[in-house]
Amino acid sequence: MTDTPNTSRYAETIAAWQRDPEAFWAEAARGIDWVRPPDRIFDPSLGAYGQWFAGAELNTCYNALDRHVEAGRGEQNALIWDSPMTGRIEYYTYSALRDRTARVAGALAALGVQRGDRVVVYLPMIPEALITMLACARLGAIHSVVFGGFAAAELAKRIEDATPRVIVSASCGLEPGRVISYKPLLDAAIAFSAHKPQSTLILQRPQVTATLIAGRDHDFAEAEAAATPHAPVTVRATDPLYILYTSGTTGKPKGVVRDNGGHAVALHKTMSMLYGVQPGDVYWAASDVGWVVGHSYIVYAPLLAGCTTVMYEGKPVGTPDPGAFWRVCSQHGVRAMFTAPTALRAIRQQDPELLHYAKYDMSKLETQFLAGERCDPPTAIWAAEKMRIPVVDHYWQTETGWAITGNFKGLGLFPTKPGSGGRPSPGYDVQVLDDDGHVLPRGQAGNLSVRLPLPPGCAPTLWQNEEGFRTSYISDFPGWYRTGDAGTIDEDGDVWVMGRTDDIINVAGHRLSTGAMEEVLASHKDVAECAVVGAKDELKGQVPLGLVVLKNGVSRPHDEVVKELVALVRDRIGPVAAFREARVVLRLPKTRSGKILRGSIRRIADGEATVAPATIDDPAILDEIGVALAGRRG
């Protein structure tokens, strides 16, 4: 993994962007079909920090579907839906996907949806989720996807903020061993919300038939069949394409806005530059459309680039085994795959020798990309050694919509460093700032920040809350976007993300990274995954507390493993870390996207009241953690 020959064109590409950012993005914009080209590539007078492609007009759905059909590639597969939950695989050509999308757009238009209206999408991982998103884009409407199965109270908050004319949902979602009925959750959310949608479209799945409310609820399939196909509606490049809600510190979700023009240009550019794929290649982001990765790399980027995108309704393990991902890659000829580190850790726990990988023809898979949280070096090294392909961790956020840092398959990979997020993408001037906003020298830890303006594709604002955008991201360090992450940049320019700034703990006056400690724990031969948080301590203020999940088959006494972990941290980081306490647990609390809920672990450790976040995968895990941490010294 670390011996990739340094033949990358990264340096010359970054230099070209630095010399003339507007010329760089003007060239990238040629990959998009415009109804009207931009008056200006960048207008600094607009919004909180400026906006890209002011004056331009386009339609994102046309760029994702129609233009490929018109170019003679209508019979190429655009979408492969692979659902081990139902045992079904469906293929949609570009022509077929365009035709269904146009009809669903017509169905939404028949319910009164127009340019600028909002549509909340509350669907599982089924083709209709992608089709509905594209149908909204076709109409110039603004979609807001909420993860299927989200709690009613949290869904209600998003309905109130987005004020949708229509909500599109399904009768149910499927999880291993259970069926989740969506309609009761949706009905409760609408009852909670002060804003009431005019209509809903409900897709009836075979597993559950939802009860429809006359006058408000409409059958999705019937509405689609009766609809007149709708043509693409021209919008401004600076008009919103979607709103995606992310957690806010106040408890009110923040509606991250994505515009049409910059989004299309940036995502189209990344497919060749970052992921190294071309039109006709099969690309798979093993994520969910409820998260930003699903928006960017299941729905929009692959289709903008003319690739075949894979949508997967299943899990990395258990549907049916730890070889599920490799079966999908082999069967569909995936060239580049993107998933979260937690998925690889789950596979590693159940199949540490990656024996299932060897069962399949993996010759077409060239690169494994990771994001969502920092990948611990042991997992990255394990994956690269077992898969025998480059494993690329890259770093980005809901707010940015694409990678802040990475390694660039389309430019020729430079040598990778396990644990690093790679080097800044063209468009991102990444620096480390101290708490007063001064740029720190290479190697020093501080606040990872990006010099304004942010590149195309990044959020220009929050939905109806520009002041909240300024407060959350750009007021702390004037002239900079504050990522909220802590890290360092080494002498080669590689960026090391060590976690959120609130994951830097203060132990007796020493600022220590819990991420660095997690890296040490993860290197232990018996540890499958881990989390370290700063827990209250009367003497030192805070002390690190580790939770570890052991690999399958480890039968040694837990006390013995914990002693080794404490010694390992003392040896690798030093006594200053004050790492003396670790607990073995069966599983860690995570969001549905796989991020570990470290804040919830810390609150339980500190004896604070803990409410299960709306994003949690299984609320019962918090009770298990409470039992595991009972009686801890503090």
Cα 285 vs. chain centroid, distance in angstroms? 10
At 565-599, the pLDDT tens digits run 999 998 887 777 889 999 999 999 988 777 888 88
Q: Tokens 């030192």 sit at which residue? A: 540
pLDDT at residue 2, rounded to an integer: 41
Homologous superfamily, domain 10-314+394-488: ANL, N-terminal domain (3.40.50.12780)
Smallest CA-to-CA distance from 115 within 140, 91, 133, 134 is with: 140
Provide the pLDDT confidence category of residue 251 given band limits of 50, 70 and 90. Answer: low
- The CATH number for 508-629, chosen from 3.40.50.2000, 3.30.300.30, 3.40.50.720, 3.40.830.10, is 3.30.300.30
Burial status of residue 150 (CB atoms within 10 A of its CB: 0-12, 13-18, 19 or more): buried
pLDDT at residue 502, rounded to an integer: 62
Mean pLDDT within 287-311: 96
The Cα–Cα gap between 144 and 255 comes to 9
pLDDT at residue 86, rounded to an integer: 97
Fold: same for 10-314+394-488 and 508-629: no
pLDDT at residue 541, rounded to an integer: 75
Task: Indicate if the pLDDT at residue 250 is higher than 60.
Answer: no
Report the share of the chain in percent with pLDDT over 90.
80
The mean of the pLDDT values for the chain is 93
pLDDT at residue 509, rounded to an integer: 56
Q: Which of 176-180, 264-268, 288-292, 609-613 has the weakest average pLDDT? A: 609-613
Max Cα distance, the chain (Å):
71
Provide the pLDDT confidence category of residue 1 given band limits of 50, 70 and 90. Answer: very low
The Cα–Cα gap between 625 and 50 comes to 45
pTM of the predicted protein model: 0.85
> Which string of b and e fits 308-320 if b means at least 16 CB within 10 Å?
bbbbbbbbbbebe
Burial status of residue 168 (CB atoms within 10 A of its CB: 0-12, 13-18, 19 or more): buried
Mean pLDDT within 96-111: 98
The two three-digit tokens of residue 285, written as one number: 């982001």
pLDDT at residue 104, rounded to an integer: 99
At 13-23, the pLDDT tens digits run 999 999 999 99
Mean pLDDT within 26-52: 97
> Which string of b and e fits 398-431 if b means at least 16 CB within 10 Å?
bbbbbbbbbbbbbbebbebbbbbbbbbbbbbbbb
Mean pLDDT within 192-214: 97
Mean pLDDT within 490-512: 78
pLDDT at residue 216, rounded to an integer: 98
Provide the pLDDT confidence category of residue 182 given band limits of 50, 70 and 90. Answer: very high
Is residue 276 a contact partner of residue 367, using CB atoms and an 8 Å limit? yes
Whether the bond into 453 is cis, omega within 30 of 0: yes
Q: Which of 11-15, 125-129, 418-422, 577-581 has the weakest average pLDDT? A: 577-581
The Cα–Cα gap between 332 and 78 comes to 12
For the chain, domain boundaries: 10-314+394-488, 508-629
Mean pLDDT within 538-546: 82
